């Protein structure tokens, strides 16, 4: 199974709609159930310049994505970026997430001059916490009642990876 990583195109919206319609993607991200295809088309066509979206493709089908958001809104935070990612539910643990994250971190480290990469992860998502720790992220704190999902407020860990080359 060859995994190809590339920049997202507007025409990827239908595949991204599928990825983010799966239960694990909805549960593990801040997405709302029942996303429309038009929402994904708009996200790709109206994307701000400080957002980079990469996709993972297998056999011509997009099966995962990572959106990198550079904090350009303040001169004092230009060295930092956040991200969100998802892989189609039936393809977890096949190396797709690792390839997406490695590509995004390579952009940050070697091309975008990003020193700090950060993410918020639901505290009950042990699989994701372990995944990010495997890629050098550390827990820096916990936000209480950060988001509402499945009828309850949930906590998140704030995790970050600092580029040690700087």
40: domain CATH number is 3.40.630.30
Q: How many domains does the chain have?
A: 1
3-state secondary structure of 109: helix
pLDDT at position 166: 60
Q: What is the pLDDT of residues 19-46, one digit of tens each?
A: 999 889 898 888 888 888 998 898 888 8
List the structure tokens of 46: 């109206």
- In angstroms, rounded to a whole number, what is the distance separating the alpha carbons of residues 41 and 16? 9
Low-confidence ranges of the chain (pLDDT < 70): 166
Q: pTM of this prediction?
A: 0.91
| Residues 99/85, Cβ–Cβ less than 8 Å | no
Q: What is the pLDDT of residue 125?
A: 95
pLDDT of residue 55: 97
pLDDT of residue 7: 95
Domain that holds residue 68: 4-162
Opening angle at CA 31, ends 70 and 104, nearest 5 = 35
CA distance 117 to 128: 16
């Amino acid at each position: 199974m060859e995994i190809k990583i590339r920049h997202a195109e507007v025409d990827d919206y239908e595949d991204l709609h599928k990825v983010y319609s799966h239960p694990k993607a909805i549960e593990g991200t801040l997405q709302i159930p029942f996303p429309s295809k038009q929402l994904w088309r708009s996200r790709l066509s109206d994307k701000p310049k400080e957002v980079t979206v990469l996709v993972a493709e297998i056999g011509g089908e997009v099966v995962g994505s990572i959106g990198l958001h550079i904090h350009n809104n303040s001169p004092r935070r230009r060295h930092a970026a956040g991200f969100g990612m998802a892989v189609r539910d039936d393809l977890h643990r096949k190396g797709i997430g690792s390839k997406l994250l490695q590509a995004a971190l390579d952009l940050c480290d070697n091309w975008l001059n990003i020193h700090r990469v950060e993410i918020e992860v639901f505290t009950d998502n042990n699989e994701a916490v372990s995944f990010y720790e495997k890629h050098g992220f550390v827990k820096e704190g916990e936000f209480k009642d950060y988001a509402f999902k499945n009828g309850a407020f949930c906590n998140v860990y704030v995790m970050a990876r600092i580029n040690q080359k700087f």
